[in-house]
Amino acid sequence: MTSSNQALFEKSQQLIPGGVNSPVRAFRSVGGTPIFFKKGLGSKLWDVDGKEYIDYINSWGPMIVGHAHPDVIGAVQAVAANSLSFGAPTGLELEMAALINKLVPSMEQVRLVSSGTEATMSAIRVARGFTGRNKLVKFEGCYHGHSDALLVKAGSGLLTFGEPSSAGVPAEVAAHTLTLEYNNTQQLKELFAKAGDEIACVIIEPVVGNMNLIVPHMEFLQTLRELCTQHGTVLIFDEVMTGFRVHLGGAQALYGIKPDMTTLGKVIGGGLPVGAFGGRKDIMQCLAPLGAVYQAGTLSGNPVAVTAGLETLKLIQVPEFHAKLAAKTKKLVDGLVAAAKEAGVVFSAQSVGGMFGLYFSEQCPTSFAEIMQSNKDNFNLFFHSMLESGIYLGPSAFEAGFVSAAHTDADIALTLAAAKKAFAAVAAR
Ligand code: PMP
């Protein structure tokens, strides 16, 4: 590691807990010094020491058209010149609401917020207000942001640090959160048979990206939909990560299942802070100023952030955008599997749209228990070898990866060449 990164990290740790503003960035689980970046363009990043990387984090999902896309940057600059914020309605918010409704029709009404955390926190509040019930169901290893009720057996950074639940969450709050195993249909049926009529909502990542990538079984999702309908429980698809990424219409369009509510983030802001929650009109009408469920935000619907999102959403509506993105991501994944096989390394990988999962295990995991069996030491070795070769992957065995429209065949070829070296290092371990 070169000195500028090192120096920045050392100084940052004096002033910022762990030196970072979001835990996974700290490289704790893989070891080493986090990279401090100064520039991104298309699929590439440059760190403060001038080293170039091919980026497979994409700011954890938002940069689906690549970094510093000229249309996005140009539109943001133009809108910024008219003030950064009004705290009052603008036509841009209406444009965004109409576009969300067009692309994700289950979102009959929508409200904009500034992060995925706010979107999920607000969605569960509305679901509780609408049903008059308290209990909420989530799945082990799914991450829905850092609000109290959702930090129970959660994924992403919590898994990375081996602490799936957070200190500081009162037991009384956590007691209302019931956690089930992902893809376990039997458990779901048993819980609903016992307590279905007390459950306000079920929140789920319809494709999980926060315990690495886990694909849902269709039967599991369909049963979930049916049980929620039978019991008057609000089904919330947390599409903060999958929205506009696995399909233009999100995972709900990919699998043909209509949730009652949806939460969005990441791509919807194109790299600036935007989140959204929405769904059935009768549920959304419970929100203030119409109803008794309170939710608000000084910067909600911020014109500059919404513009970055609108421009990004325009770019991803071009014909074949998602088919091409999915094909590119699959090409990467297939190449990695082949390279691992050649090196004799136990490895599997898969992709859904522009999201991918890499696992140092025989088969792609389908549950939290299975993902925990994968070889973390091999991942860490692989990660560092790739980083050295200028390939920037998520610094944890429990995160999904992201490909953007800006990634080229040459990028993928370079990545596979680096992987060949990395797998050889793993094989020699
Ligand atoms: N839900 C999901 C599925 C996520 O992946 C994330 C963030 N990774 C969140 C919610 C929280 O979003 P944010 O970090 O914008 O608060």
pLDDT per residue over 5-37, tens digit each? 999 999 999 999 999 999 999 999 899 999 999
Selecting among 53, 56, 143, 392, the annotated active-site residue is 143
Catalytic residue check, 194: no
For residue 218, pLDDT beyond 80:
yes
Q: Coil, strand or helix: which one is 208?
A: strand
What pLDDT is recorded for position 24?
A: 92
Single out the catalytic residue among 56, 266, 359, 411. Answer: 266
Taking the C-alpha atoms of residue 369 and residue 17, their distance in angstroms, rounded to an integer, is 31
User: pLDDT confidence of 43, banded at 50, 70, 90?
Assistant: very high
Inter-residue contact 182 to 208 (CB < 8 Å): yes
Residues 329 and 294 in one domain: no
Whether residues 99 and 184 share a domain: the answer is yes
Compute the CA torsion angle 172, 175, 176, 180 (nearest 10 deg).
Answer: 160
pLDDT digits (tens, 9 = 90+) for 168-181: 999 999 999 999 99
At 78-133, the pLDDT tens digits run 999 999 999 999 999 999 999 999 999 999 999 999 999 999 999 999 999 999 99
Please provide the average confidence, as pLDDT, over all residues in the chain: 96
Q: How confident is the model at residue 3 (pLDDT cuts 50, 70, 90)?
A: low
Residue closest via CA to ligand 1's atom 5 equals 241
- pLDDT tens figures, 252-289: 999 999 999 999 999 999 999 999 999 999 999 999 99
What is the DSSP-derived secondary structure letter of residue 20? -
Q: Is the distance from the beta carbon of residue 141 to the nearest atom of ligand 1 less than 6 Å? A: no
Q: In this model, does residue 338 exceed pLDDT 70?
A: yes
Q: What is the pLDDT of residues 190-205, one digit of tens each?
A: 999 999 999 999 999 9
What ipTM did this prediction achieve? 0.99
Whether 155 and 243 share a structural domain? yes
Query: Mean pLDDT over residues 335-346, rounded?
Result: 98
We report the CATH number of the domain holding residue 178 as 3.40.640.10
Q: How confident is the model at residue 155 (pLDDT cuts 50, 70, 90)?
A: confident
Residues 241 and 330 in one domain: no
Q: How confident is the model at residue 160 (pLDDT cuts 50, 70, 90)?
A: confident
Q: Are residues 104 and 179 in the same domain?
A: yes
Which of 241, 261, 402 gets mutated to test ligand 1 (max ligand atoms within 8 A of its CB)? 241
Percent of the chain with pLDDT over 90: 95
Cα separation, 277 vs 112, in Å, equals 7
**Is there a single domain that holds both residue 211 and residue 182?**
yes
User: Token pair 């689906």 is at which residue?
Assistant: 64
The CATH number of residue 385's host domain is 3.90.1150.10
Please tell me the predicted confidence (pLDDT) of residue 304. Answer: 98
The verdict on 255 and 115 lying in the same domain is yes
Claim to verify: residue 77 and residue 124 sit in the same structural domain: yes
Say if residue 92 is in the same domain as residue 195: yes
Beta carbon of 240 within 6 Å of any ligand 1 atom: yes
pLDDT tens-digit map of 48-87: 999 999 999 999 999 999 999 999 999 999 999 999 999 9
Task: Compute the distance from residue 343 Cα to the ligand 1 centre, in Å.
Answer: 35
Q: What domain range includes position 127?
A: 70-315
Quote the CA–CA distance of 94 and 24 in Å, as a whole number. 34
User: How far does the centroid of ligand 1 lie from the alpha carbon of residue 196, in Å?
Assistant: 27
Q: Is 396 close to ligand 1, i.e. is its CB under 6 Å away?
A: no
Indicate whether residue 114 lines ligand 1 (CB < 6 A): no
Residue at which a domain ends, from 272, 300, 315 = 315
Residues 260 and 184 both lie in one domain: yes
In terms of domains, do 387 and 258 share one? Answer: no
Among 291, 321, 358, smallest CA distance to 125 is for 291
pLDDT exceeds 70 at position 1: no
Say whether pLDDT at 342 is over 50. yes
Per-residue confidence band for 164, with pLDDT thresholds at 50, 70 and 90: confident
Looking at 315, 346, 365, which one is the last position of a domain?
Answer: 315
Query: How far does residue 35's CA lie from ligand 1's centre (Å)?
Result: 21
| Helix axis angle, 185-195 to 218-231, nearest 10° | 10
pTM for the whole thing?
Answer: 0.97
Domain stop point among 273, 294, 315: 315
238 noted as active-site residue = yes
User: Into how many domains does the chain fold?
Assistant: 2
In short, whether 144's Cβ falls inside 6 Å of ligand 1 is yes
Q: Does 143 qualify as catalytic in the annotation?
A: yes
For residue 121, the CA-to-ligand 1 centroid distance in Å is: 11
Long-range Cβ pairs for the range 292-296 (8 Å, 24+): 292/129, 293/125, 293/126, 293/129, 293/130, 295/111, 295/113, 295/122, 295/125, 295/126
Looking at residue 424, its pLDDT comes to: 98
Taking the CA of residue 205 as reference, the ligand 1 atom at the shortest distance is 3
Q: Are residues 91 and 230 in the same domain?
A: yes
Q: In which residue are the tokens 């914020």 written?
A: 85
